[in-house]
């Protein structure tokens, strides 16, 4: 996996989702960015992205919330 490409694509997805108001896709993009940041060793950024994703997932009671909480605990 090319982490640079992954980061760029998730960043574009986040920008598009933010501009269109698609909160679920924003959360998905934050989740993707968090995974890239974790793989590159940027734990603080990973935590920030996962917190942003968790806010949405938890608000709507989505199952992704539990996964994100686990990821944050593992940091």
Residue 1 has pLDDT above 90, yes or no: no
Residue 75 three-state SS: coil
Per-residue pLDDT tens over the stretch 50-70:
999 999 999 999 999 999 999
**Nearest CA-CA partner of 49 in 14, 6, 74:** 14
Per-residue pLDDT tens over the stretch 11-53:
999 999 999 999 999 999 999 999 999 999 999 999 999 999 9
**Nearest CA-CA partner of 57 in 25, 12, 20:** 25
């Amino acid at each position: 996996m090319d982490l640079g490409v992954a980061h760029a694509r998730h960043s574009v997805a986040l920008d598009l989702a933010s501009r269109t108001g698609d909160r679920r896709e924003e959360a998905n993009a934050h989740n993707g960015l968090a995974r890239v940041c974790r793989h590159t060793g940027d734990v603080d950024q990973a935590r920030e992205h996962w917190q942003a994703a968790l806010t949405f997932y938890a608000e709507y009671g989505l199952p992704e919330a539990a996964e994100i909480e686990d990821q944050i605990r593992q940091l």
